[in-house]
Amino acid sequence: MVSQLSYPKIQLEARNVQLRYASSQTIACQVGALQVKKGECLVLCGPSGSGKSSFLHLINGLVPEYYQGEIEGSLRIGPLSYQESSVEESAYQVASVFQNPATQFFHQEVLQELVFPCENQGMPREAISNRLAEVVEQCQLTSLLHEDMEKLSGGQKQVVAISTAAMQGTDIMVFDEPTANLDARGVERVQELLRVLKKQGKTLIIAEHRLAYLKEIADSYAYFREGTLIEATSASGFLAYSEEKRQELGLRTSDTAPFQAQVKEMARAFTNDPTGLILRQFRVHHQAKYLYQVNELVLAAGQVVGLIGANGSGKTSFARSLVGLEGDKTGVVSWQGESLPARKRLARIAYVMQDVRQQLITERVEKELRLGLGIDQLDEDVLRAFRLSHLLDRHPMSLSMGEQQRLIIAASLFSNKEIFIFDEPSSGLDREQMEQLAAQLELLKSKGKLVLLISHDDELLARICDKVVDVEKLAMGKEAEG
Ligand X SMILES: Nc1ncnc2c1ncn2[C@@H]1O[C@H](COP(=O)(O)OP(=O)(O)OP(=O)(O)O)[C@@H](O)[C@H]1O
Rule CB under 6 A: which residues touch ligand X? Answer: 21, 23-24, 28-29, 48-54, 67, 207, 227, 398-403, 428
Q: What is the DSSP letter of 123?
A: -
Residue with the shortest CB distance to Mg ion: 53
Nearer to Mg ion, 69 or 324 (CB): 69
CB atoms within 10 A of CB 83: 9
DSSP H or E run through 45: strand 41-45
452 neighbors 420 (Cβ within 8 angstroms): yes
Stretch that binds Mg ion, among 180-188, 261-269, 397-405, 468-476 (CB under 5 A): 397-405
Closest CB 92 distance from ligand X, rounded Å: 24
- Residue 412's binding partner out of ligand X, Mg ion, none, with CB under 5 to 8 Å set by partner kind: none
Among ligand X, Mg ion, none, what does residue 50 contact (CB within 5–8 Å per kind)?
ligand X
- The 10 Å Cβ neighbour count of residue 367 is 13
Nearest residue to ligand X, by Cβ distance, number only: 402
Interacting span for Mg ion (CB under 5 A) from 19-27, 47-55, 142-150, 352-360: 47-55
DSSP string, 281-310: EEEEEETTEEEEEEEEEEE-SSEEEEEE--
Is 181 a binding residue for Mg ion by CB under 5 A? The answer is no
**Rounded least distance, CB 386 to ligand X, Å:** 12
Nearer to ligand X, 29 or 350 (CB): 29
Amino acid, res. 8: P
Task: Report in angstroms how near the CB of residue 241 gets to ligand X at its nearest.
Answer: 19
Question: DSSP letter at 4?
Answer: P
Looking at the Cβ atoms of 278 and 401, the one nearer to Mg ion is 401
How many angstroms separate the CA atoms of 172 and 323, rounded? 43
The region of 68-76, 154-162, 359-367, 395-403 touching Mg ion under the rule CB under 5 A is 395-403
Smallest separation (angstroms) from ligand X to the CB of 346: 28
Task: Please compute, for residue 359, the number of CA atoms within 13 A of its CA located in the half-sphere on the CB side.
Answer: 23
What is residue 388's three-state secondary structure?
coil
Instruction: Name residue 207's beta-bridge partners.
Output: 44, 176
Q: Which of 472, 467, 470, 475 is nearest to 300 (CA)?
A: 467
Selected binder of Mg ion within 11, 18, 53, 90 (CB under 5 A): 53
Is the Cβ of residue 58 or residue 144 nearer to ligand X in the bound state?
A: 58
